[in-house]
Amino acid sequence: MRIDLHTHSNVSDGTQPPAELIAAAQHAGLDVVALTDHDQTAGWVQARQAAAELGVGFVPGMEITCQDHQGISVHLLCYLQDPGYQPLLDELDLSRNSRVIRAQRIVDRLAEDFPISWDLVSEHCQPGATVGRPHIADALITAGVVESRNEAFANILSARSRYYVGHPAIDPRDAVRLVLEAGGVPVFAHPAAALRGRVVPEATFHEMIDVGLAGVEIHHRDNSAEGKRFLARLAKQYDLIVTGSSDYHGAGKLNRLGENLTEPDMLDRIIAAGTGAQASL
């Protein structure tokens, strides 16, 4: 069984519509794929239908943008949550709205030095999609400023850049609680991605575990080797679900579908725990 539990469509910052992503998953020889767009679930219906037509197993999910009390970015994956659970939807609305304001501020700063505008960024973002720096990167590519998203993230869009602006986001403990209330299964995404920026201290893991964190995404290309060893110890100590996945973003990132996989018994645990939505296997 080839199971990849972390992918993005153009409902957030991936480059393919959900149905195309599912076709790509089939082409990559995956048996099961989860769609985990940032901060929304608008792609589930299309993905589920394509998965049924192509005979691919589908797990509905999402990746929630969070920030801990020290301002460190945390991404929380969740699976099988009720997509209509209003308290969670309210938080996601706040988050997506603050992303728009923040992206506009980044563009304002960039526009002082580069030929880009909010209109150009909007052309690279599907209506209603969760906007992020990758869409700004795409506008910078069109404007001839950089050649790839990767190049943009390496300098002018990095968190260390003078053009960078952050945005407020939900505390990871509150996100874990809301996911559980929605019948979902919360899994900490790429928890040891040291190259992306600061990683949370061990205390944050314990705080999240205390409120019901169910799993950790260990097998992910951005986790450091040392971080993976730490996570494996933590998972053993607290009997956490362990996942592996690609974090595929279509043409927007080097990550390839199926480059990391989740063991079938771990998917079984997710399915046993999730009560807010159905997987189609």
Residues that bind Fe ion (CB under 5 A): 13, 75, 189
Rounded Cα distance between 35 and 216, Å, is 17
Burial of 223 (0-12, 13-18, 19+ CB in 10 A): buried
149 binds, among ligand AMP, Fe ion, Zn ion, none (CB under 5 to 8 A by kind): ligand AMP
**Paired strand residues for 170:** 66
Burial of 268 (0-12, 13-18, 19+ CB in 10 A): exposed
Which of 63/82 has CB closer to Zn ion?
63
Which of 137/178 has CB closer to Fe ion?
137
- Told to check if 39 binds Zn ion by CB under 5 A, we report no
Three-state SS annotation for 226-280:
HHHHHHHHHHHHHCCEEEECCCECHHHCCCCCCCCCCCHHHHHHHHHHCCCCCCE
CA 90, 95, 98, 104 torsion-angle sign: negative
Which of 84/197 has CB closer to Fe ion?
197
In whole angstroms, the minimum distance from the beta carbon of 253 to ligand AMP comes to 4
Instruction: Find the Cα–Cα–Cα–Cα dihedral 28, 265, 66, 104, rounded to 10°.
Output: 10
Site residues, ligand AMP (CB under 6 A):
13, 38, 132-134, 149-150, 153, 249, 252-253
In whole angstroms, the minimum distance from the beta carbon of 125 to ligand AMP comes to 11
- Told to check if 37 binds Zn ion by CB under 5 A, we report no
Which span sits near Zn ion by CB under 5 A: 23-31, 112-120, 207-215, 239-247?
239-247
Which of 57/95 has CB closer to ligand AMP?
95
Interacting residue with Zn ion among 13, 37, 39, 247 (CB under 5 A): 247
* Residue numbers at the binding site for Zn ion (CB under 5 A): 63, 247
